[in-house]
Amino acid sequence: MHLVSILNNIKKILYLLSCLFRNQYFSFVQGHSFLPKESLHNIQKFVGKSDNESIKKFDAKFAANIGNGKAVSFAAGRMGFFALMQVLGIKKGDEVILQGHTCSVMPNAVWRTGATPIYADIDSNTFGSSAIEIEKVITSNTKMIVAQHSFGIPCNIEPIVELASSNEIFLLEDCAITLGSKINGMQVGNFGDAALFSIDHSKPINAFIGGLIYTQNNELYAKLKEIQRSSDDLSVERQEAVWKKFLFERKYYNPSNYGKSLLMSKIFRILLCERDSYLTGDYGKESSSTYPYPAKLPAFLARLGLYELERWELEKNKRQNLLTVFLDLSISVGLTEFLPPPYFDSNLEIIPLRFVYTHPNADAIRKKMSKFTDISWFWFDKPIVACKEPSELGYVYGCCPVSENIGKEIINWPCVFSESDNKKLVKNFEMIHA
């Protein structure tokens, strides 16, 4: 076992060293290289400082991008989810339905309330929640259904709305990885009783960390707002660590420098005992006590979020154009049968977070992609991502067979870069599938 560990470490070192010599290496995160120094200065002024006005402005502007409701931000989307469950009085003995493909922070938040996460299988067409599968796991203890829209693709939400309503169960739309997409002209986030959005660095609006709960229910909003007001700020030390990491990503999280960043990040963690800038202490069943939970969104990240929202219309257009290019290429190389049907549904307007499909030769495709893409960032190659073992979070293997089988074949392509970098990415796509 000791020898195996040594060999694995050697492989990791060789891999990191090889990254130094990759001129174009794609991740799924784009640093804020577009921000001028003046904007950086305006953001930095708020590091470590409380400023409710900045948070209020960001929350209001974000909500206006979704619909007629209101939004309440926190330092992470999972914290907003937890605050919502607190407002609803969810407790031990209650059950919350999540989909088979989710992030570990979601069941972690459920465990924090004392309730139990229950996993429903996904819809193989949308990679999102399925009313048929949700209905199978509803019990008298079910207090919330979380309906997830995945990769920018809306799930078939209307039958889930009917199911939740007929059973008098609270419906939360999980829009953490879908922003701006529409069903028959209505934007996702407006179908349920509330909606969860994420703004961490891998999401459509990149404010580095953070998330929001959006709702059109004024009473619910008021209660969430009170939790936000009473929540603590992240420590000044942690905010400064987040700022430094933000600057690091601004410089290195682009295809030209990303390979270098992997090795440098490893060195920083080892030599400098780098603080957890991403609030990863809630990726398992055990919860971190190194930061307040829930915590307020730092004011400087609210300011960053405002800059992000200013460019969102342009970003949406860029992503839609890239989706069209990917689809045209996919059709020309014979991939149509492997693509999600919603990509061709005229009733949907899809703003892609990632371009996704399944393929029986996924292992070979991933191997080719690994030469120019960090495939360790693929979602969802297993039922619950960002954890060592899904069973630790209450997942029972075999309960979501579609999630498990699709995970073996799923392919992710980033849609986040500049148009010039995306052109290079598209050429790589064409080369692999030629």
Q: β-strands 186-187, 182-183: how paired?
A: antiparallel
- Band of residue 272 on the pLDDT scale cut at 50, 70, 90: very low
Residue 7 has a pLDDT of 62
Task: Note whether 213 and 196 are within 8 A (CB).
Answer: yes
Structure tokens at 282: 């809630």
Residue 158 clears pLDDT 60, i.e. is over it: yes
For residue range 162-175, list pLDDT tens digits in order: 999 999 999 999 99
Hey, what amino acid is at 219? E
Query: Residues near 188 by Cβ (< 8 Å), separated by ≥ 6?
Result: 149, 154, 157, 173, 175, 178, 181, 182, 195
| H or E, element range at 322 | helix 312-332
pTM: 0.93
Query: Residues near 223 by Cβ (< 8 Å), separated by ≥ 6?
Result: 87
Residue 2 clears pLDDT 70, i.e. is over it: no
Mean pLDDT within 381-395: 92
Residue 212 has a pLDDT of 98
Query: Residues near 104 by Cβ (< 8 Å), separated by ≥ 6?
Result: 282, 283, 284, 384, 385, 386, 387, 390, 393
State the chain's mean pLDDT as an integer.
93
Residue 124 has a pLDDT of 97
Residue 268 has a pLDDT of 59
Percent of the chain with pLDDT over 90: 86
Residue 240 has a pLDDT of 95
Total Cβ atoms within 10 A of residue 47: 18
Residue 310's nearest CA partner among 23, 65, 7 is: 65
Residue 299 clears pLDDT 60, i.e. is over it: yes
Residue 271 clears pLDDT 80, i.e. is over it: no
Task: Note whether 178 and 151 are within 8 A (CB).
Answer: yes
Mean pLDDT within 21-43: 91
Residue 42 clears pLDDT 80, i.e. is over it: yes
Residue 434 has a pLDDT of 85
Mean pLDDT within 223-237: 97
Hey, what amino acid is at 298? P
Most distant CA pair in the chain, distance: 60
Mean pLDDT within 310-319: 97
Q: Tokens 């701006």 belong to which residue?
A: 180
For residue range 45-100, list pLDDT tens digits in order: 999 999 999 999 999 999 999 999 999 999 999 999 999 999 999 999 999 999 99
- Band of residue 267 on the pLDDT scale cut at 50, 70, 90: low
Residue 9 has a pLDDT of 57
Pick from 36-50, 262-276, 308-322, 407-421: least confident = 262-276
Residue 13 clears pLDDT 70, i.e. is over it: no
